[in-house]
Chains A and B, each alone.
Chain A
Amino acid sequence: MIVVLVEHSQGVFKKKSLEAVLYAAHIAKEMGTDITAVAMGNVPDSEMQTLGAYGAQKVLHTTDARLDNFNSKAYAKVVVAAAQKENAKVIIGLHDTTGKAVMPRVAARLQAGLVAGAVGYPDLSKGFTVKKNVFSGKAFAFVNVTSDTKVISLMPNTFPVVKGEGSATVEQMEAGLSDADFSVKVLEVSKASGSVPLSEAELVVSGGRGLKGPENWYVLEALAQELGAATACSRPVADAHWRPHGEHVGQTGGTIRPNLYIAVGISGAIQHLAGVNGSKTIVVINKDPEAPFFKAADYGVLGDAMEIVPKLTEAVKKFKAGQN
């Protein structure tokens, strides 16, 4: 059996979790086994049944109001309970802020090997070997898990999400949670509303020092809004407090792998490239023809950002109008 942890936002499963279920389904097929998803907190039964369309046969649901706040200790306990109940050989979660806290705990509890940030399916002809990013995206490594139970956290936005047919059965699960599992007191939660979280954005518009100052960011924001993209920035920009540090991508910031990364006024230092070179398509807009980023780009535009970005925004607007 394969157990997969699914995350939701206000009762609706996140797209990256559907991706994780599909990923598990692919592995289950190869291993000749089934999938059980693990959901926590307030999710309607109808939503849980839809996981069947992504390959899950069953959903174990632990309802406990205390699980509405993220807590790695309690979440890990629920996943371990599900894994033991289902006698799972493979346990899958996401390599996001939730999974990075939960999956290592699960692995440690079960003394299982962990592949953190998988970008490929396990190669069963070579034991249980899974490809992952290393050196902040500068290379890949193949990790062979030798324990009986295997734990994988999947890098979001690695595989396409395609809905199929089917409905999953839903079963309530008691995970034996106690007050001691909830000793972290949540004082304040602030969730970005409306905008796309950077880590799961398919399209990203990013700015560097070439934009000259925070007052010029409106051109990027207009483009991002037109595309439905998230905004990011380079390290010097975050260090100068032009943008919040959560937007910093690169070796010492976040690593992202969107479908489209548009880099505006970023020269492309090796540390920056490390955080973004998993992007499927890279567009570089820079006025310096020697900017190293052009070598890593698919498309390049030479010129001043303040002139080009508004033109690109207009072109996107025109294209979208033509689509409708």
Chain B
Amino acid sequence: MKILVCISQVPDTTAKIAFSDNNTTFNTQGVTFIINPYDEWYALVRALELKESGPATAVHLVTVGKADAEPVIRKALALGGDEAIRIDADSNDPYSIAANIADYAKAHNYDLVLCGKESIDYNNGSVGAMVAELLDMNFLGFASKIDVAGTTVTVKREIDGGEETDACELPLVISCQKGVAEARIPNMRGIMAARTKPLTVVAGAAVAAVSSITGYEMPPAKSGVKMISADNMDELVKLLHSEAKVI
């Protein structure tokens, strides 16, 4: 079983979010980029576990982006994985990202494609399902447990208002969230090994973007907190009813 793990680079969770050029560009000055936590902690680590325990024969990492995405994919290789692929294309539009990944995956016959449930920057959570559609594969979203026996994958996942356990034959696309695996910390050996692992750059597919971000806005600032005495919860309830109108 060959696994392809989709990796996205995102600003660090503590990064200050600011915009420049009249609020049309995300200001990356002073921002550290990390591997999207859902891709790293869950999708990548589970793929590595599946190789260590037997079912997977190869774990490849793929990212869509320009050369500035390479440090992050090297970081991912330090955790593990046999090789990485960077598809040299813009990563602004979910459809073109998915089309690029699907194009590559189709040509290289992966049995299982894993990704995080969403990236923490643009929060679209759409690339996994799009890749599945473009490859005509099943898609199981929001997995919290993934087991593989032979060619059958058993997945526990979140559905609207509950949980479901499914069995599905390979090939398949799964998006991962908490529960799938435990985050790992790269060790020195991994970091050294990552330097010499193959990182192939392939040209992007001929796909036109179908959406673009034209501007940003910060949420309105709160007007200030109204403190209520701990002995006066009746007052709080009254305010929630008559002022905030939420109960």
Contacts and interface: CB of A to CB of B under 8 A. Distances in A.
Given A113-B95, A252-B13, A299-B226, A101 B141 contact: yes
A108 B126 CA distance: 10
Nearest to A9: B161
Interface in A100-135: 100-105, 107-109, 111-117, 126, 129, 131-135
A188 B237 CA distance: 42
B22 interface: no
Given A197-B160, A260-B247, A314-B233, A184 B225 contact: no
B150 interface: no
A113 B210 contact: yes
A135 to B, nearest CB: 5
Contacts of B88: none
B212 A187 contact: no
B127 to A, nearest CB: 7
User: Chain A's interface: helix, strand, loop or mixed, by majority?
Assistant: mixed
A284 to B, nearest CB: 7
A151 to B, nearest CB: 9
Interface size class of A (residues with CB under 8 A): 35 or more
A135 B225 contact: no
A248 B38 CA distance: 14
B125 interface: yes
Interface string B28-50: 00000000011000000000000
Nearest to A135: B17
Contacts of B246: 202-203, 259-260, 280-281
B30 to A, nearest CB: 15
User: Chain B's interface: helix, strand, loop or mixed, by majority?
Assistant: mixed
B162 to A, nearest CB: 3
B123 interface: yes
B71 interface: no
A316 B214 contact: no
Contacts of B131: 108
Nearest to A147: B210
A139 B125 contact: no
A253 interface: yes
A304 to B, nearest CB: 8
A104 B129 contact: yes
Interface string B225-247: 11111110110111111001011
B132 to A, nearest CB: 7
B230 A301 contact: yes
A115 B206 CA distance: 22
A41 B132 CA distance: 23
A251 interface: yes
Given A270-B13, A280-B246, A142 B214 contact: yes
B210 A72 contact: no
16 contacts: A73-B138, A76-B133, A97-B159, A108-B98, A108-B99, A108-B131, A116-B126, A139-B17, A142-B215, A143-B213, A183-B168, A260-B240, A298-B225, A302-B227, A311-B231, A315-B233
Given A9-B161, A186-B165, 19 more contacts: A97-B141, A100-B126, A100-B141, A104-B98, A133-B123, A134-B121, A135-B17, A141-B213, A141-B217, A146-B212, A183-B168, A187-B166, A188-B164, A238-B178, A253-B178, A283-B240, A295-B225, A299-B226, A311-B233
Give the 10 A-B residue pairs with the shortest CB-CB distance, closest first: A191-B162, A113-B211, A113-B210, A104-B126, A303-B230, A104-B129, A315-B233, A105-B133, A116-B124, A108-B130
